[in-house]
Amino acid sequence: MKMLSHCLRAILATSLIAFAASEANAASRPNIIIIVGDDMGYADVGFQGVKDYKTPHLDKLAADGARFTNGYVSGPYCSPTRASLLTGRYQTRFGHEFNPGPPSAGLPLSETTLADRLRASGYKTALVGKWHLGSEADQHPQKRGFDEFYGFLGGAHSYFEKNGILRGTENINELDYTTEAFGREAIAFIEKNQKQPWLLYLAFNAVHTPMDARPEDLAKFPHITDPKRKAYAAMMTAMDAAIGKVRQSLEKTGQAESTLIAFISDNGGPTMPGTTTNGSINTPLRGSKRTTLEGGIRVPFLLAWPGQIKPVVVDKPVIQLDLHATALAAAKVEEKPEWKLEGVNLLPFVKGKNNDLPHGALFWRFGDQMAVRSGDWKLVKYDSNVETRSGRNNEPATAAKLYNLADDIGETRDLAASNPEQVKKLQALWDDWNTANKPPLWGKNGEAGTAKKAQGKAKSAAKKKPQKAAEHDD
Ligand code: CA
């Protein structure tokens, strides 16, 4: 009896040690959620001043952690931003400059994703929502580091149509509303995986076109008369509510303090005239999605980690590829030089442990358009036609202009003529950065480029559903 009791005590002690170790592990290696909104305007969240509707859950997230007022994305539209977020490198380093037009185009198989890296270190990984990094079998999210996938492969999707919404590789049987479904799937993943750290990439299609709003959400905005803006408000409200529910599930399962949450939009609001606009507002920024003006690349940008990051507003310029480096650092995955990561771990900056600028300069290349920002100075060659003309940006970019964003956030006063030295300096920085860029793997307007050759693929376009081409629009 004495012997048995001794054994039981030993077993109990061992279990307690194992339990404590797993608890410590959970605390030291947080879960990571990267939430991406699609085509949101800079001004379209409460914490950045929206007036005609409310975003209480996003505002709460902003108030709980770090809000970046100079948060950027490296792509002025969908797929390039996602390629860079997931690889931690500027997308032009590997030719992913434009949205993938040709059927076989997608994130080059030579690239490793954040999901690959975190999964290799013991994380459970899921993508819920929009992929837009390739529709072929070997480009599927579950071949690119994600254990689980629920969502769609292209660049846009109906919010009500179940056809094309996949669980893994199988079409789902019923769908109420994508925003609702994505929130629900995210919560299921969060509730299911409490024993090991996880990565959840939650990429809503809200508020990208089509402007599919639910009647009950539309009914909340009788005061908004413009039908597009009304739909936008309804769709934003639905996404905000879904994000609120996701955070509730973290609280409910006791994972709030062991979860790092990032939120960005993948690009600025498409405010140019034309059929692909969504009613978004980028004020006080100038320009639109598809331009390297601030309106195309500066976005709502949040990072929260209750207990680890105190509420703070950060004005230093940061960029979405920093989220890759930040996630790896939080997960204690050591960055390898051969990964050639270009993002910076933001945690020391938001915790006040590093007061320098995270980046000497930030860079953009988008066809003929370019931009470089160093400190408050920005040199930018943009497509002015996008601001005034409907349709695609086929026109050549204008000459580079120089703006000082400290007192000219709206990029209204070109200082190039009076500051030739500054122009020269910024251009030299950009030229140097550009030497390591690759030519685009496919064309700006979806035309086939060298993508097939580059990826060693030669599959027939005829096999693809006609819907795919439309899905890739923006
Ligand atoms: Ca987008």
Distance CA(149)–CA(172), nearest Å, equals: 12
448's CB contacts (< 8 A; 6+ apart) are 101, 102, 442
pLDDT digits (tens, 9 = 90+) for 221-262: 999 999 999 999 999 999 999 999 999 999 999 999 999 999
Question: In which band, very low, low, confident or very high, does the pLDDT at 400 lie, cut at 50, 70 and 90?
Answer: very high
**Can 132 be counted among the known catalytic residues?**
yes
Dist CA 309 CA 305 (whole Å): 5
Going from the Cα of 104 to the center of ligand 1, the distance in angstroms, rounded, reads: 20
Determine which of 21-35, 113-127, 216-230, 442-456 has the lowest per-residue pLDDT on average.
442-456
Q: β-strands 369-374, 170-171: how paired?
A: unpaired
What CA–CA distances, in Å, run from 423 to 255, 368, 369, 372? 48, 17, 16, 10
Structure tokens at 114: 């954040």
The pLDDT assigned to 103 comes to 85
**For residue 139, how far is its CA from the centre of ligand 1 (angstroms)?**
20
> What confidence category does residue 101 fall into, taking pLDDT thresholds of 50, 70 and 90?
confident
Packing angle, helices 178-192 and 227-252, rounded to 10: 10
Mean pLDDT of the chain: 90
Residue 97 CA to residue 77 CA, distance in Å, equals 10
Cα dihedral sign, 35-326-146-260: negative
Contact 364, 93 (CB under 8 A): no
Residue among 30, 67, 27 at smallest CA distance from 45? 67
**Is the pTM above the cut of 0.75?**
yes
Under the banding of pLDDT at 50, 70 and 90, the label for residue 276 is confident
pLDDT attached to residue 185: 98
CA 300 – ligand 1 centroid, Å: 13
In order of their start, the domains of the chain are 30-350 (3.40.720.10), 362-450 (3.30.1120.10)
Question: Quick one: average pLDDT of 345-370?
Answer: 97
Calculate how far, in angstroms, residue 201's C-alpha sits from the geometric centre of ligand 1: 15
pLDDT (tens digit per residue) in 103-155: 899 999 999 999 999 999 999 999 999 999 999 999 999 999 999 999 999 99
Greater confidence, 423 or 454?
423
The catalytic residue among 57, 96, 132, 140 is 132
Give 9 Cα–ligand 1 centroid separation in angstroms: 58
| Mean pLDDT within 288-293 | 94
**Residue 468 scores a pLDDT above 50:** no
Percent of the chain scored above 70 by pLDDT? Answer: 85
* Cα 37 to ligand 1 centroid, rounded to whole Å: 8
CA angle 154, 303, 323 (to 5 degrees): 55
Q: Distance, CA 36 to ligand 1 centroid (Å)?
A: 9
Which one from 78, 208, 324, 472 is the annotated catalytic residue?
A: 78
Ligand 1 centroid – CA 79 distance (Å): 7
The mean pLDDT of 255-284, rounded to a whole number, is 92
| CA 474–ligand 1 middle distance (angstroms) | 7
The pLDDT-based confidence of 447 (bands split at 50, 70, 90) is confident
- What is the Å distance from ligand 1's center to 75 Cα? 9
Summarize pLDDT for 151-187 with one digit per residue, the tens: 999 999 999 999 999 999 999 999 999 999 999 999 9
Between CA 396 and CA 419 the distance in angstroms is 24
Q: 138-142, 246-250, 361-365, 388-392: which range is least confident on average?
A: 388-392
